[in-house]
Each structure stands twice: as C-alpha cells, then as structure tokens.
Structure 1
C-alpha cells in the first residue's frame, strides 16, 4: 500500500471475514459527492462485495453483486449520495432506538449500559436479562441475536429470567440487567466501553441504524476472535501494526481490542510491542 492509499476494512457476510480494501486520497477527492464504491472479488468460492465509502473512510453501505453485474462494475468509482445507504437485510422486530431504550431511561445512560452488555457478550460472559413478562424479555433477546449474528454462542450466552428467579443465579462472572428497572444488577468485569458507545451513538444517528451497528460490530467481533486466537496460539512477540494487519482491523481500534483481551487474562503487554500505538499517542 502506498502512502497515498488508505486501508478500509469491510465485513463480508458471505465469507464471515473482514475484507481489506485500498482506496487512494485522490479517488476520494475526485468524487464530487464524497462517496466512492469499491469492488472486492475474493474468497473461495469466489464472490463479490461492493462497499460504499465516504470521505471519513466509513463504510456507508454494502451490496453483493452477481457475476453478471461484476462485469460492468469498475474497481473504484464515484457514486451519488442516494446510493450509499444500501443494506440487503431487513431490520429486527425493534428499531435500534427501541432496543437501546430498554437499557436506560435516558439515552446517554442507555447507550453506556448497552455498550457494557456488548463487551460482556464479546468476551463470552453469561448474560441474564430480567423481565417478568418473559415474552417481552425473549423479544429483546431475539433482537440482540439478530444484531450480533457473528457471536455464534449468543443464544446460549443470553438467558431471560423473572425477578423470582434472580436469587437462583450463582454464576459470579455474569452480566445481569433488569429490563423493567432499566439498570444493571451486576457486571462481572469493569470495561472501558467508550469506543462501543461511540459506534452505538453514531449508528443511532443514521437512517439504517440497526444494520449500521450490526455491520460495525460484526467487524469488531471477527477481529477480536482472530486476535485472541493469534495471542493464544503463539508465544512470539508481535508489533502492533503487524498484528492489526493480521486481524484485519483499523489500526486505531487495535488498542481497544487489546484492552478487552487483557480483561480475559491475556498478557498483551508482554506479547505486543506497541510502537505504532505509542507513536500515535505521542503525536497528539
């Protein structure tokens, strides 16, 4: 990749991986609307992903062209703003706003609680949602499963219980949240969820909020699983930029994933040489 190119990662739901896309500053600059479409043909069997990227290098939409469509699609092209918010799935039973509101009476607090829930699910801690109307509790769980489809163990991780059953929960590492009182009863780990709060807040400001968040979390969950696999399978020390490349994540997000891995008891400080991260901090 040249100095004038940027790496952007797009999550491909067909191969369940983050796909690396290269886009130059000049290509973004020349797009009158500030949006470019980048085509990636990859995988086995081979398939295509068309990502719409804005000036801030955020993926604004995803399409999966057919083989016939690919023939007429350039590798990188400018597109109109109206084409950007393209997602080929339907929303859940709830909108994202309704789902988040179950986790706090005020939106700011709801976003924080919801972000803590996401981190606990990412590190595979058991989650208990309390609601005396179990049908309502199961509906919240269903929408969480829809949102976090890349967490394969989610259905087993999340349980819906009523208040009478709370005393029977013995697991010390559980995240317990009262959906009726909209407050956490117990959190098993202390987490810095600032990045998750940011992406939830950003998704809520978008028209396609549910699947914008679903997409961003799919990218993070994939990279985190790969990060844990790499750090657990090898004792070799790695440089942070090299590791970010290996786990297919934007370098700016690597520190967040490393901090979460520390919560799981993985010694990232002795395993990862944070030269690039240190340089970035020193330059601020």
Structure 2
C-alpha cells in the first residue's frame, strides 16, 4: 500500500512538480497548525479553498500589522514635521513675509506683529512665580496668545485664518522636537549673539539651516510638547561667553 502511494507520488512529481510541491507545502502547514493527520489530508483534498483561506489570513495579518504601524508612527511623524515636508499645507503657500517687520538682527516686535503688545495677551511672564507654583518649573520666556485686535487687523490671519507666529529677527533656522515632543524653531542672528525660540508649534514652515528674514512665517501656533492649550512660548537667549542664557523678552518688544 505504501509502495503504491510512493509510486503515485513519484508520477505526480514528474507530471506536475509545481502542484506536487504546493500540496506538500499545504500539508506541512496544515499539520503544523493542526497536528492531526486526518485534518491535514482533508485540507489537502480541498486545497483550493485552503489556499484561498491562507491568502485571506495572510492579507488580514498584514493589514493588522500595517494598521498598528500607522497608529504608532503617525504621532511621531507629525511631531517631527516630516509630514509637513511631504504634504505642504495650503496655509503655508498663502503665508507671506510681513513687510512691517524690519530686517533686524535684534528683535523689535512680538512674533504676531502689531505695535508693542497690541496684538497679543501675555498669559505667563518671564520667571513668572505663578507658573513656578503651578508647574514646578522656572519659566524662561513669555507665553502669549493673539487677542481680538490681532484677529481684526492681522493681514496674516485674514489671509490664512491661522494664528501664525513670524520670525522677530533675521538669521539662521534650527528646527527640532524637544524632549516633551514639542515643535521648536530657533532663529539665531548672524553675529551668533542672540537667538529667539518659538515653541509648541503644530505645524512648521521652515527647516534647519535655512536663512530667513524678520517677518518670515515660522509655522502655526499649537500646543505640542509641554503645553496645556494652544499658545506661543517666545524666548530670547543671549550668548554669554558661549553659554546661551534666557533673558526677559519684553524689552525686545517695542
């Protein structure tokens, strides 16, 4: 009986080698998954259905793994700004430099424009004691949000319907994601004596190494990183013998 089966298998291998190998593969997989010979033989008898089921399961497993990958990868891609570089937002294209900003290496305006603080409301000041009591951290800049005057008069807002901070000085860009996952843009002047930091951006329009002028749109205000709501953390640092030291930004807003 066994000899007859071997002879039959040999003829099958000679006449249809691909089909023979496929049947062997199905039988091995079936017995690995369900180690009962009878079940393996039944699956072999209905190999067409078995192949269809195996293909469906393969596609299903791949779909599940891809879905999990997308779920975990998307926040990282958004935080890194990589998606913005691949899929430029229409707001970016419609954002233009604000000519009201003077081409300066030392800031003179707040990042939302206007005269002095007319376009913004300060929600936390430099070394704000309330901030320290609430979060247990020294506040090294000022937090600001646009006010009604901004919404009524800002050309940038009227064009984009987005709250877009602009560079307060001309210089070179350094963009990175901070330890809390916040999008941070740093603009350093040509003398390497002062730099301005803009934190928590939800979208970023500039890239590291780029040279920009004051008034260039940096991104869209958001709450990425260590933030409880949408706002801009604006920080000024001066180069103190090679050490970047935060100072109060208010004297740099006229």
TM-score bracket, shorter-length normalisation: under 0.3
Please, what TM-score do these two structures have when normalized by structure 1?
0.24
Please, what TM-score do these two structures have when normalized by structure 2?
0.26
